[in-house]
A = this chain, B = another copy of it.
């Protein structure tokens, strides 16, 4: 019940609407008072909410005394609702694409917060072929593997044992460079290196600054140089 309400709210239902509709959909049919008791929505508000749900085509009524209400086939109504949302998204994507007007594209970008970093990384991984992953943290690799095939990945890390059994190319850093994974504290703020993705001309690094995650994307020929550096300098046999 509570879960249903939460999900409905995610779909744009108001609190009262979600509670009334969930109750009605589960019980099949009910009077206003029953809905009030089961959902906790104030009794007088129930009528108001039911009218609104009726306008949206989700509830039908029998005008008796007391009036009885019923959710119109929840499955088909919600499916229809889903279709509308899907087509809305598709319309949005299409109309954005139509009027796209990319001018100069800045080669350096910062992304704040987890959500943005995930999106950014996903977008980069999807359009890239081969990718280098530099990290000391296995968790990041597991996320990457949801998007890319193992054979497209090369992992560079401090200890290859962490990534064994994955059928992935792994390279180990020389000892003198493995310190890049250690925390640094500057002016009381803790900085740590989390992850670096490199593909083609693009790199995307994730760092922890204090309590926040920061993503930095750099698209420059420089990247190729960095790749070479990795091979020439940082790696142990």
Q: How far is the CA of A120 from the CA of B118 in the complex (A)?
A: 41
Interface residues on A, range: 35 or more
List, in ascending order, chain B residues with CB within 8 A of A22's CB: 96
The number of times this chain is found in the oligomer is 2
Question: Is there an interface contact between B89 and A79, defined as CB atoms closer than 8 Å?
Answer: yes
* Complex alpha-carbon distance, A8 and B108, angstroms: 28
> Contact string, A31-55, partner B, CB cutoff 8 A, digits 1/0?
0000000000000000000000011
Task: Find out whether the CB atom of B4 lies under 8 angstroms from the CB atom of A109.
Answer: no
Q: Is the interface of A mostly helix, strand, loop or mixed?
A: helix
Is A172's beta carbon under 8 Å from chain B?
A: no
Q: Please, how many angstroms separate the alpha-carbon atoms of A150 and B207 in the complex?
A: 62
A115 contact set on B, CB distance < 8 A: 55-58
Q: Is B29 a contact partner of A92 (Cβ separation < 8 A)?
A: no
Which residues from chain B contact A88 at a C-beta distance below 8 Å?
A: 7, 10-11
- Nearest B residue to A56 via CB reads B115
- Residue in chain B with minimal CB distance to A67: B110
Residues A81 and B89 in contact, CB atoms below 8 Å apart:
yes
- Complex interface residues of chain A between 52 and 72 (CB less than 8 A to chain B): 54-63, 68, 70, 72
| 19 extra A-B contacts, CB within 8 A, seeds A27-B101, A28-B105, A55-B115 | A4-B96, A7-B88, A8-B92, A10-B84, A11-B85, A22-B96, A54-B113, A55-B112, A55-B116, A57-B111, A57-B114, A57-B119, A58-B119, A62-B106, A73-B120, A75-B96, A79-B89, A80-B119, A85-B85
Question: Can you sample 9 A-B contacts with CB below 8 Å?
Answer: A4-B95, A8-B92, A28-B100, A54-B113, A55-B113, A57-B116, A58-B115, A60-B215, A86-B86
Top-5 shortest CB links A-B: A57-B115, A28-B102, A57-B116, A73-B123, A82-B89
